[in-house]
Amino acid sequence: MNNNDNRTGRSETAAATETVTSRQMGKFPLKWVIAGIVAFLVIGGTAAYALIFSKSPKQLYLFSELKTFQKAAEDFEDQNGELADFQEKFAEMASSTKTKVTGGVEAEGVLPPEFEMIQEIINEAAITTDVEQDPKSDKSFTKAGIAIQGENLLDMEIYQSPEQVAAKIPSIYEKYLYLNSDEYGQFMRQVDPAYAGPEKLNFQPLTIKDFELNEKEQKHLQDTYASFLNEQLKDEFFTKKDNVSYEHNGEKLSVTQVTMKLSEKETKTLITRLLDQMIKDKELHTIIANRVVKIGNTGASQMDMMDPETVKSDFVDALKDAKEGLKDAKIPKGFTSVLMVNGDELVIDRKMDLAVTDTESGSENTISIHTMDVPYDGDKKRDQEFKLDLVSDNEDEGASILLTNKISKTDDANRTERLKGKISSNDPAAEGSFDFSMKSDFSGKDPAKQTISRDFSLGSEEGLDSPLKIEGNVTQKQDVSVKDNYSNQLFEIKLNGGADMAEGSVSLKIDTKTKLKKNADIPEVNLDSEVNINNITPAQMTDIQIKAGTKLQDLMLQLGVI
């Protein structure tokens, strides 16, 4: 698959996220299984209609969803393509990354002397890291340090290879402490005799390529499920109205309203047939299992080791459980989806409604989704919205999510986005709401060479035991070039906590510079005479404790803490 194909797959994954695993998933509530499948039906199966010109209501519905999905993918690529391409290249090439972190703490009023001392240390401290890594050999070497007023206080070295991981703090103990990767399980059982996780460490990080579909997988899913939906979604499910008046922010548009409506019987039949297709689709099982296994078996995960056959079996069992539960499910109003399609055949407004009656309690649970993406004022402005309402007859259930974004462009190089979000819950264990808002000013025509200033506020409201509010600013300066193999990122963060932080503020500055290159400068580390933490003798442990205790005491005296 070439780079453009990779970009397309990556963008479509992100677009799908914008538009709309554990092992034991068989007991997932039926109403969410139904809602998820319906979302897949509406959004995921439109690829069969990429080249249709004279469109019936069904064709217009599916084609406009596809075109809107593709437009979201293009927008994502325009804003993030260079950065994502660099990350993919970073995962494949040797690199050198230098990072410096500084910060500060400010507080109002008179502070206790011990806090003033700590505050002074933090304000004058700097943490640095220098990382050399080679993804092909799966090796890395990191040097980290802490300095106060430019004077080094503490250094650390970390070496990692497929066989071992080792760390040394020279100013505290002169030897490396290391662990062989295939002895990880043995070490964990010394800490916790009941440990039942991975026996071997896997240091290879997950990348986006681990989740991208290859050409064969893409073709299978497109051929199988586009064909399925083309056959199962009947023409009589769809109706349309032309020249419908749609008003937003004082501007009137003439749009086409397209409706897909299924009765209870039609909804259940469609979902049942889809579940049957997924249950017998062995290639789908493999696609899912391979990715779940990669997640579950990466790093020092504490979950049980996964194997593909177990994941496949669990997945199929969950689908069968959902199918069995669907038999007695009540979907009294069926399923309805209404699209407002503009002259460019893009969906600017979407509403979906589904009600599921709980067979045990008899309560009705209504799921409503509303999305909006409306350009106006000559495309200089754009309003976006995602709203999810979960309404139940049971007053202890139900929740809502509301996200809005107002985009305003001054010119090709400058724009402002005002994002707001609110999450509310009726669950007695977490009743209340959480609010978030952020104003972002983007400066720079090229997204890879931009300055972005974000003012944000987040907090909880009524009902929660510990309400809080935090405000702050994040300024990001980025200069990334795939062609020239470098990335420079600067983040300046300031948090103002108000009463929740004693009217104080915390600041953080993170300066990272990465250079891609042919070969990493990783030193050879001989661990033959170093200390294997699996085989530490009582004498070695006593030696480490004495030396470390003495060095730490000297360090505290140097800092004036004791």
The predicted-structure confidence for 201-216, as pLDDT tens digits, reads as follows 877 777 777 788 899 9
- 273 pLDDT higher than 80: yes
Average pLDDT over residues 77-104: 93
Model confidence at 429, in pLDDT bands (50, 70, 90)?
A: low
- 24 pLDDT higher than 80: no
**pLDDT at position 248, please?**
94
Average pLDDT over residues 362-390: 93
Model confidence at 533, in pLDDT bands (50, 70, 90)?
A: very high
**pLDDT at position 360, please?**
73
Q: Collect all residues with Cβ–Cβ distance below 8 Å to 180 and sequence separation of at least 6.
A: 163, 164, 532, 534
**pLDDT at position 302, please?**
41
Model confidence at 498, in pLDDT bands (50, 70, 90)?
A: low
Task: Tell me which of 231-235, 425-429, 518-522 is least confident.
Answer: 425-429
Comparing 88 with 427, the larger pLDDT belongs to 88
Burial of 487 (0-12, 13-18, 19+ CB in 10 A): buried
- 25 pLDDT higher than 50: no
- 20 pLDDT higher than 50: no
Task: Tell me which of 37-46, 264-273, 330-339, 479-488 is least confident.
Answer: 37-46
Average pLDDT over residues 14-39: 45
**pLDDT at position 232, please?**
94
Average pLDDT over residues 510-537: 94
Q: How far apart are CA 440 and CA 65, in angstroms?
A: 29
**pLDDT at position 306, please?**
66
Model confidence at 505, in pLDDT bands (50, 70, 90)?
A: confident
161-189 exposure pattern, b = at least 16 Cβ within 10 A, e = fewer: beebbbbbbebbbebbbbbbbebbeeebe
3-state SS class at 405: strand
- 250 pLDDT higher than 60: yes
Report DSSP state, residue 297.
Answer: T
Model confidence at 365, in pLDDT bands (50, 70, 90)?
A: confident
**pLDDT at position 36, please?**
56
Nearest to 105 by CA among 521, 496, 555: 496
Rounded to 5°, angle at Cα 282 from 279 and 284: 85
**pLDDT at position 17, please?**
41
Q: Collect all residues with Cβ–Cβ distance below 8 Å to 22 and sequence separation of at least 6.
A: none
**pLDDT at position 105, please?**
84
**pLDDT at position 149, please?**
84
**pLDDT at position 320, please?**
94
Residues above pLDDT 70, as percent of the chain: 83
Which of 54-68, 301-315, 451-465, 480-494 is the most confident on average? 480-494
- 371 pLDDT higher than 80: yes
Model confidence at 262, in pLDDT bands (50, 70, 90)?
A: very high
Average pLDDT over residues 385-407: 91
**pLDDT at position 37, please?**
52
Average pLDDT over residues 465-472: 76
User: What letter represents residue 381's amino acid?
Assistant: K
DSSP element (H, E) containing 373 = strand 364-376
Comparing 486 with 23, the larger pLDDT belongs to 486
- 456 pLDDT higher than 80: yes
User: What letter represents residue 26's amino acid?
Assistant: G
Model confidence at 198, in pLDDT bands (50, 70, 90)?
A: confident
Residues above pLDDT 90, as percent of the chain: 54
Kindly report the average pLDDT of the chain as a whole number: 84
